[in-house]
Structure 1
């Protein structure tokens, strides 16, 4: 699973990672036992389960829960990173019913994509949030309670990482450990799930998703009265290693500049997450549909500005786009089987660039053109190779 990490020539591990490596080697041989709980520990576990379940209703409730926790415990960087990424997840969900992406998808495809995004969002929260609440309880009691993590089916890898953080207060290692954990946690439960492979990952629409560079992560903030943002674009989403490195990059981008982080935090706390892209760009998006069905679709966007007199792009609120979902229980099982994943904890040496506005604006333009190009696809011979759909749209975009 982590072959590329292992094959790269590495420098000797820093001493602090060698300590973690030693513990992971032990756990490779013997998993953490699930011991009988004392009465007060049972109460803690039950309360955390109930609080997590109550907040895991939909993307909006999860996103707000991450932010609320970060405001209480700003040393847990992943909580704010998770909040900002979850905002982007919500925007991707509502795009499926919005005024651009929905023109490229049928109802079945849109539902499959939403189910894919929602399941991943739900799974990450039900795995990560109990860890946060257990940290909060540990802080309140002044006592390490991470031996309770197995009762939430949290990987033994994270027990090692939390114990290390409790002693050393190493913010970076905890954050990257959580990035590694959540992405590997999703790998077999979502990315390698046969149903999602068939209905989402191997579909034409998923190929178009990569073609159109639609996997943008945006971090908005206000500067001189104008909403700006930094971000990154994820390509090859199906690659675990790529997602882990991407997570480390956006973490660096979010936290490396203290003044910008302050502005992003100010924007996030002042702007409730609704799922609509109107949250950050009301000049371009509206959560009310302005474009009537009889109006012919023509390009409206140029350099992230609307053409004179053009209707704003429909970007609904999450509550208007999708109902709350009932999820089956999370699949059990620990992903951690190889201590060599320690290499993924090594800090990035590259400088992360976050200038994404041009690419994002071009993506919006390309989606509109793709929607227009789809008219040509609709009239193709049904006996033609479905891959011709991609070629037709690509020609229109070139």
Structure 2
């Protein structure tokens, strides 16, 4: 599938589909979450994490992120194409799902959506489906369990920013970040709840949704964090190689005289990866997942900017300390 080349092409395909079919909310949610996947990939080669992770750790974590991003796309996008074709022909074609190894769960839900147009049920079903689809293929995969979770989880969860999902938008010309934080990636239950919270953050407030859509359309995804914060990040390295790290930020603003932090575009950070075929098998076998269709009863406000700023400062301190330690040796 031509769109499944890398994170940038996948992310663009989700947005293009959403603009044609705004009733499929997950396409925009998937677009915004996929942007975060790309930022996490390029962070591995960016100025800060380059000082904190070994080359092997970077490759392992990229391979895990890329496999997950690829798998979700090659499961979700054929569903979108068949929906599009169904509309063209004015007849549901979801009976074709098994030929694309798409779960019987989604076949049932799309048929229900075709009849009743319940956007929320379709979105939550896609969240449930994609996270369960990933579970055996990536999260429980011995390779990633050993190379990523057992070795890197503490580093990546507690110290770094991989657990923040950010949705940028402009309000009166000023950058705002909304989103959520994930604390237990290895739990499928927590990932589904996170997906539901992110859906609420994005679609429950019409103004936030409109502003985020406008931002996404006018800022093509490159993988660099410069996409949303060009005053702090740059996709060109402004520093001198090998020079000891200096703290750049104070409360998410550059200190006087400080240069921007290097955040490369995806094409400059990683080469395309040829993926092996997705593992076969239908995850669906337990009706208990229907409980996830119940409304979240917790209030969700999406406030994440302060937390993300603190994380950036923590990463900067870690990068400085690491350089200081190697300097002492």
Whether TM-score is above 0.5 comes out as yes
Q: How does 1:102-181 map to 2 (within 5 A)?
A: 102-181=50-129
Alignment deviations for residues 277-310 of structure 1 (CA, whole Å, 9 cap, x no partner): 0000100000000111242212111111111111
Alignment deviations for residues 333-376 of structure 1 (CA, whole Å, 9 cap, x no partner): 00011112111121212211211111000000000111223357
Among residues 152, 164, 180, which one is paired with 1:216 in the alignment? 164
Give, in whole Å, the separation in 1 of the partners of 2:190 and 2:44: 24
User: Any idea what SS the aligned residue of 1:221 has?
Assistant: strand
Please, which runs of 5 or more residues in structure 2 have no aligned partner? none
Which region of structure 1 is more displaced relative to structure 2, 291-300 or 177-186?
A: 291-300
CA contact (8 A) 2:29 2:199 kept: yes
CA contact (8 A) 1:213 1:235 kept: no
The RMSD of aligned alpha carbons is 1.4
User: Any idea what SS the aligned residue of 2:167 has?
Assistant: strand
| TM-score, reference length from structure 1 | 0.80
Return closer, same or farther for 1:294/1:380 CA change in 2, 3 Å cut-off: closer
2:251 alignment partner in structure 1: 303
1:207 alignment partner in structure 2: 154
2:239 alignment partner in structure 1: 291
User: Any idea what SS the aligned residue of 1:217 has?
Assistant: strand
Give, in whole Å, the separation in 2 of the partners of 1:108 and 1:139: 47
Give how far 1:225 is off: 1.0
Among residues 151, 174, 196, which one is paired with 1:226 in the alignment? 174
Larger radius of gyration between Structure 1 and Structure 2: 1
Give how far 1:322 is off: 0.4
| TM-score, reference length from structure 2 | 0.97
User: Any idea what SS the aligned residue of 1:340 has?
Assistant: helix
User: Any idea what SS the aligned residue of 2:22 has?
Assistant: coil
1:17 alignment partner in structure 2: none
2:24 alignment partner in structure 1: 76
CA contact (8 A) 1:234 1:243 kept: yes
Alignment deviations for residues 111-133 of structure 1 (CA, whole Å, 9 cap, x no partner): 10000000000000000000000
Give how far 1:212 is off: 2.2
2:221 alignment partner in structure 1: 273
Return closer, same or farther for 1:66/1:262 CA change in 2, 3 Å cut-off: same
Give how far 1:103 is off: 1.2
Give, in whole Å, the separation in 2 of the partners of 1:326 and 1:260: 37
User: Any idea what SS the aligned residue of 1:154 has?
Assistant: coil
Among residues 312, 317, 320, which one is paired with 1:364 in the alignment? 312
Give, in whole Å, the separation in 2 of the partners of 1:248 and 1:149: 24
Runs of 4+ in 1 over 6 A off after TM superposition: none
Give, in whole Å, the separation in 1 of the partners of 2:191 and 2:160: 15
Please, which runs of 5 or more residues in structure 1 have no aligned partner? 1-52, 382-398
CA contact (8 A) 1:213 1:233 kept: no
Give how far 1:208 is off: 1.5
Instruction: Say if 2:248 is the partner of 1:248.
Output: no
User: Any idea what SS the aligned residue of 1:110 has?
Assistant: helix
Give, in whole Å, the separation in 1 of the partners of 2:176 and 2:288: 39
Alignment deviations for residues 164-197 of structure 1 (CA, whole Å, 9 cap, x no partner): 1111111101000000000000000000000001
2:40 alignment partner in structure 1: 92
